[in-house]
Amino acid sequence: MGKKEKRETAQYDASLANGGSESQEKHPKKKRKNREKVKEPHNDAVSLATETPTITIAVPGSIIDNAQSLELATRLAGQVARAATIFRIDEVVIFDNKSTSDDASTEIMENDSGENESGAAFLMRILRYLETPQYLRKSLFPKHNSLRFVGLLPPLDAPHHLRKHEWASYREGITREKLNRDSVGTLVDVGLSKSIMIDQVLEPGIRVTVEMGTNRNLDAGPRKIVPSSRPREEGMYWGYKVRYASNISSVFKNCPYKGGYDHRIGTSEHGVVIKPSKFGLPSFRHLLIAFGGLAGLEECVEEDENLKGKNVHDIFDSYLNTCPHQGSRTIRTEEAIFISLQYFQEPIKRGSKRHKCLGL
């Protein structure tokens, strides 16, 4: 991972994907690379240590490698995205089992053809694409072989995926161009009948969150850009972020939240069996729930050189079997995500309430 990408990932409050500059039209390849890089407006650099608890899931990219076709791989990725949205997940971390370098994350920007794309890169691309509101996708994502079958997937229909006729306090948008050379604002396409103006001058192709207010006159303004965390702080679910980790230890080490994940849960058929009503989840700020691949989390830990001599019980606060007495010999990871996130609904609710009661 380059210095620029590390800095953008650390700030982490910008959009997950964004467009290239209009001035790059003469260099299509360069434009395609820049479209999916993380850019950030100047006023969007806010602390990630919010008072609202967050939930992160960690999923191995290797689950894509078992898919027998591009269409099946796309459907699998779609299931992960649906689960993340249905259960209001704030962050999805895609980790490699054997990689030792975070440089692999640049593959998403540099692999224009999709040929020999790793499972992690493929999964991240689909997740980011699906999280993006439909009216922004054409601008933010160039044509790519890995996106050939995304049209077959059911929409996430998340709260920020607004229709053209819907009005909301906030909308996601993409910057277009200044009104003129001396303008003090920038036009932003927010998926309505016409672009609106914001009170900052930004280069074209940046994904931003705009505070729309109550005035439905699109010529009124200028309107303000706010941190992408603002809707969430007001109780709205506003999609998930996507992050790459080169191995399981990097999931923890590169956590973007101040103080890291304060409770880590691993899921496995070899985990402890506890009824959801009996599972006491402590108050938390940032909860992590990790899932293994074909060989489980045990293999992920064993293959991580940074975790030599440790086992799953050393790195997770809880290690649970969320589906005991299974009828099938195997539960696929995409199935385990749905099962486990449903299992944790009540414990998470109780932990969140304790968090608020204690004023953490």
Asked, for residue 234, whether it belongs to a domain, the answer is: no
Q: What is the mean pLDDT of residues 343-355?
A: 80
Task: Kindly report the three-state secondary structure assignment for every residue of the chain.
Answer: CCHHHHHHHHHCCCCCCCCCCHHHCCCHHHHHHHHCCCCCCHHHCCCCCCCCCEEEEEEEHHHHHHCCCHHHHHHHHHHHHHHHHHCCCCEEEEECCCCCCHHHHHHHHHCCCCCCCCHHHHHHHHHHHHHCCHHHHHHHCCCCHHHCCHHHCCCCCCCCCCCCCCCCCEEEEEEEEECCCCCCCEEEECCCCCCEEECCCCCCCCEEEEECCCCCCCCCCCEEEECCCHHHHCCCCCCCEEEEECCHHHHHHCCCCCCCCCEEEEEEEEEECCCCCCCCCCCCCEEEEECCCCCHHHHHHHCCHHHCCCCHHHHCCEEECCCCCCCCCCCCHHHHHHHHHHHCHHHHHHHHHHHHHCCC
Any idea which of 126-135, 156-165, 249-258, 350-359 has the lowest mean pLDDT?
A: 350-359
Asked, for residue 164, whether it belongs to a domain, the answer is: no
195, 225, 255 — which closes off a domain?
225
Asked, for residue 230, whether it belongs to a domain, the answer is: no
For the chain, the domain total comes to 2
What distance in Å separates the CA atoms of residue 223 and residue 37, rounded to the nearest whole number? 25
Q: Are residues 133 and 181 in the same domain?
A: no
Q: Are residues 151 and 272 in the same domain?
A: yes
Count CB-CB contacts under 10 A for residue 112.
Answer: 14
Q: Is the pLDDT of residue 95 over 90?
A: yes
What distance in Å separates the CA atoms of residue 280 and residue 262, rounded to the nearest whole number? 15
Q: Which CATH number fits the domain that encloses residue 37? A: 3.40.1280.10
> Residue 215: CB partners within 8 Å, gap ≥ 6?
none
Q: Which CATH number fits the domain that encloses residue 210? A: 2.40.50.140
Q: What is the mean pLDDT of residues 9-18?
A: 37
What distance in Å separates the CA atoms of residue 195 and residue 173, rounded to the nearest whole number? 9
Q: Are residues 220 and 245 in the same domain?
A: no
Q: What is the pLDDT of residue 106?
A: 56
Q: What is the pLDDT of residue 177?
A: 74
* Domain span including residue 199: 170-225
Find the length of the chain: 360
Asked, for residue 29, whether it belongs to a domain, the answer is: yes
Q: Are residues 76 and 178 in the same domain?
A: no
Q: Are residues 63 and 185 in the same domain?
A: no
pTM (whole model) above 0.85: no
Q: Are residues 182 and 90 in the same domain?
A: no
Q: Are residues 60 and 111 in the same domain?
A: yes
Closest by Cα among 1, 226, 19, 219 to 96: 1
Q: What is the pLDDT of residue 184?
A: 78
Q: Are residues 186 and 47 in the same domain?
A: no
> Residue 327: CB partners within 8 Å, gap ≥ 6?
none
Q: Is the pLDDT of residue 31 over 50?
A: no
Provide the percentage of residues in the chain whose pLDDT is more than 70: 77
Report yes or no: 101 and 131 within 8 Å, Cβ to Cβ: no
Q: Is the pLDDT of residue 10 over 50?
A: no
Average pLDDT, the chain: 83
133 or 293, which is more confident: 133
Predicted confidence band of residue 111 (pLDDT cuts 50, 70, 90): low
Q: Is the pLDDT of residue 202 over 80?
A: yes
What distance in Å separates the CA atoms of residue 335 and residue 36, rounded to the nearest whole number? 29
Asked, for residue 231, whether it belongs to a domain, the answer is: no
Q: What is the pLDDT of residue 130?
A: 98
Q: What is the mean pLDDT of residues 19-48?
A: 38
CA distances from 182 to 46, 179, 201 (A): 29, 8, 10
Asked, for residue 163, whether it belongs to a domain, the answer is: no
Q: What is the pLDDT of residue 46?
A: 37
DSSP bridge partners of 91: 56, 241
Q: What is the pLDDT of residue 298?
A: 93
Q: Are residues 153 and 259 in the same domain?
A: yes
For residue 222, cis peptide bond before it (omega within 30 degrees of 0): yes
Q: What is the mean pLDDT of residues 175-204?
A: 85
pLDDT of 167-184, one tens digit each?
999 999 999 976 666 677
Asked, for residue 296, whether it belongs to a domain, the answer is: yes
Asked, for residue 207, whether it belongs to a domain, the answer is: yes
Q: Are residues 24 and 138 in the same domain?
A: yes
Q: Are residues 102 and 251 in the same domain?
A: yes
Q: Are residues 33 and 108 in the same domain?
A: yes
